[in-house]
Amino acid sequence: MLSKVPSASNLGLNTTSIDVEVNLADRGLPVFEIVGLPSKAVDESKERVRTAIKNSNIKFPDKRITVNLAPADIPKEGSFYDLPIAAGILAMTMQCELPGSSLFFGELSLDGTLRHTKGALLLALFARERGIKNIFVPKASANEATIIKGVNVYAIEDLNQLLAYFLGETKLVPAECRDVKDDEACSQAEFDMEEILGQEQAKRAMEISAGGGHNLFMTGSPGSGKTMLARALPGILPPLTEKESLEVTKVYSASGRIPPQGSLIKIRPVRAPHHTISAVGLIGGGTNPQPGEVSLAHRGVLFLDEFNEFPRSVLEALRQPMEDGYLTISRSRRRVDFPSRFILIASANPCPCGYLHHPAKTCICSRREIERYRKRVSGPMLDRIDLHIEVPVVDIKEFSDKQQTKLRETSAHIRTRVITARQAQTERFTGEGIHSNAEMKNKHIRKYCSLSKESRQMLLEAVRAFKLSARSYFKVIKVARTIADLDGSREITVSHLAEALQYRPKIQGGEI
C-alpha cells in the first residue's frame, strides 16, 4: 500500500518540490523508517509523528512503515515533513483519499497540534507558480501564506481536524488574509528628528540618504549624537511598496523571523549588528544557508556603529553585496541567492579615544594609532559610500531658548519630501531595473542627470578646487540628483550640485 503526499522544501529563497512517499507493508516487523537523506531533525520526525497520532486518539498502524523523501539524493532538513508524513499514514490507515493538487507542510507537536513553521510564504509562492490549488499549513503560519492570492490556504490546527476533513466529516474554508495592524512607520523610529538638538547638516544628510538610498558615513566624537541620528532614520524612510514588502517578507519567512499569525512586513527593517559579528553572521551562510544581516536589512537600513572596529575581513565581505544588491552563498552542495539592497549607515569615532578635535577634551592618541585606526576601513569600501559627514559635538547650552525648537522639523515633515523624491525616482527608473538614485550606474547618470552648461562649468571648477577623483565626480552628480528630487526640481541646478559637494568624501590620509 503506497501513498504519495506532495510537499516542498525551501533552500534559501528557492523552493523545490519534494514527494513524501509513505508505504505500509503488511509483512515484516513493525518498524518506522525514513529514507532519502534525512537530517537528524527529519529523522526524529518519526517519534513526533508516532506520538502525535497516538495522542490524537487515532490508531497507529502496527505495520512496517517506510517513508521515502524523493528525490532521494537531496539532503533533507527541517521539521516541516511531519505533516506530510502524518497525512500519508492517516490516509493509508483510514483508507481515505488525499485531496488533489495540494501541498502539505508543517511541524507537529506531540499532542497532535501543529506548530508555527518557517517558510510558509515561500511555499505559497511556489504553489502559485506551479499552479497548485491548495496548501495545508499550520494555523499559526497560515496568515503569512495568505499574502499570496490565488492559492487556497488551509489553516490546520491539529491532526483530528485534518482527518475529519479527509473523511469528509467537516469542510475546511480557506483562510482569509488578515492584515496585522501596522502603526505608522513614523512611530517605529525610536526618536523623532525634532528631538535631536542641532546637527542640522547631519539631519539633512539623513534626509538625502533616505531620499535617494545613498549610503552614509558619519564621523564624530562620542556623545555627538551619531547613534541617535541613525535611530531616527526609520522615521523618515518612505513606506515599502507592495513588491518590496513581499521581498522583505520572503527573507524573513525563510529565516523563521515572522512571528506566529504574522503577515506582510510593511515597515522597513533596521538592523544594527554589534561589531563583534562574524562574516557569516553579516553576509549569511552555513551548511543550510541562512540569510545574514545584509539580507535581513534588505530594502531597509543596515546600521554599523563603530565602523572601524569591525574586523576588516567582515567589512570587505560587505562590498560585493553592497554593489550588486544581492549575494550568492556558494557551498559545496548548494548555491543560494539572497537579496541585499540596503542603505548602509556607518558611524565611527575620529580616533581610537574619540576626542580628536574635540572642543573641550584632549585626544590622547598618537598619530600612528590614529593612522592605524583609519586604515581599518579600506579605500574601496569608503568609495561605495556617497555621503560623508562630520558630526560636531553639540553644546546643549546653546539650545535653551524656545525659538530654536520652532526651527526644527519633525520626521513626518521630512518624510513627505522623501516620499515625493522617491516617487520621482520610481517614475524615472521604470524599466531600468533600478529603484533609486544611489543605484545609478554611469550610463544612467548620463541619461538622467544632464547638466546645464553653467552647472558643468561649476562642477569642473569644483573638481579643480577640491581635487575630486572621477569616482567622486559621479558621486556628487548622483547626490545632486537626489537633492534636486527632494526639491521637486527636474533640473539639477548649480545650487543642488554645490550642496552635494558638502558631502563629498574627505581625502584619504589628509591632515590629522
Partner 1 sequence: MSIWCEEYLLKGKKKANSVKKMKNLVRINSPEYPQLLKETKKPPDILYYKGEWDNTIFEKCLTVVGSRRMTKYGKEITERVVSEIAAAGITIVSGFMYGIDATAHKAALEGGGRTIAVMPCGIDVIHPEYQKDLYGEILENKGLIISEFESAHPPGIWTYPKRNKIMAGLSAATLVVEAGPKSGTLITAETAKMCKRRLFAVPGPLTSVLSQGTLQLIKEGADMVISAQEVIGAYDLKSHETSLSPASGRKSSDPARFSDLSVLERSIIKQLQREPMDIDALSRIAGVSSSRMGTTLSLMQIKGLLYKEEAKYYVK
> Which residues sit at the interface with partner 1, rule CB under 8 A?
198-201, 203-204, 357, 362-363, 367-368, 390, 392, 398, 404, 458, 461-462, 465-466, 483, 494-496, 498-499, 501-502, 511
**Residue 188: alpha-carbon gap to chain centroid:** 16
The CB-of-283 to partner 1 minimum distance in angstroms stands at 33
CA distance 307 to 373: 10
- Toward partner 1, which CB reaches closer, 46 or 204? 204
The CB-of-405 to partner 1 minimum distance in angstroms stands at 13
- Toward partner 1, which CB reaches closer, 184 or 398? 398
The CB-of-359 to partner 1 minimum distance in angstroms stands at 8
- Toward partner 1, which CB reaches closer, 53 or 458? 458
- Toward partner 1, which CB reaches closer, 79 or 199? 199
CA distance 396 to 198: 9
Maximum distance among all Cα pairs of the chain, rounded to whole angstroms: 90
CA distance 6 to 462: 65
> First vs last Cα of the chain: how many Å apart?
80
The CB-of-411 to partner 1 minimum distance in angstroms stands at 16
- Toward partner 1, which CB reaches closer, 179 or 461? 461
The CB-of-240 to partner 1 minimum distance in angstroms stands at 27
Distances in whole angstroms, Cα of residue 292 to Cα of each of 326, 337, 345, 351, 424: 12, 12, 17, 29, 31
Other beta carbons less than 10 A from residue 214's beta carbon: 23
- Toward partner 1, which CB reaches closer, 49 or 391? 391
The CB-of-360 to partner 1 minimum distance in angstroms stands at 8
H or E stretch at 160: helix 159-166
Q: CB-based burial of residue 108 (10 Å sphere; 0-12 exposed, 13-18 middle, 19+ buried)?
A: buried
- Toward partner 1, which CB reaches closer, 52 or 389? 389
- Toward partner 1, which CB reaches closer, 134 or 502? 502
CA distance 86 to 161: 13
- Toward partner 1, which CB reaches closer, 318 or 391? 391
CA distance 104 to 243: 26
- Toward partner 1, which CB reaches closer, 142 or 476? 476
The CB-of-461 to partner 1 minimum distance in angstroms stands at 5
Residue 63, helix vs strand vs coil: coil
Query: Any idea what DSSP says for residue 396?
Result: G
CA distance 469 to 474: 9
Distances in whole angstroms, Cα of residue 310 to Cα of each of 173, 229, 281, 313, 390: 52, 20, 12, 8, 20
CA distance 46 to 456: 71
What DSSP assignment string belongs to 70-116? ESTTS-B-SSTTHHHHHHHHHHHHTT-PPPSSEEE--EEPTTSBEE-
The CB-of-481 to partner 1 minimum distance in angstroms stands at 15
- Toward partner 1, which CB reaches closer, 4 or 357? 357
The CB-of-469 to partner 1 minimum distance in angstroms stands at 17
Q: Output the 3-class SS for 11-32.
A: ECCEEEEEEEEEEEECCCCCCE
CA distance 202 to 59: 68
State the virtual CA torsion across 192, 196, 199, 200 in degrees, nearest 10.
Answer: 50
The CB-of-207 to partner 1 minimum distance in angstroms stands at 9
- Toward partner 1, which CB reaches closer, 15 or 308? 308
Closest CA to 346 of 293, 388, 305, 391: 305
What DSSP assignment string belongs to 464-506? HHHT--HHHHHHHHHHHHHHHHHTT-SSB-HHHHHHHHTTPPP
The CB-of-372 to partner 1 minimum distance in angstroms stands at 13
CA distance 291 to 310: 19
The CB-of-10 to partner 1 minimum distance in angstroms stands at 46
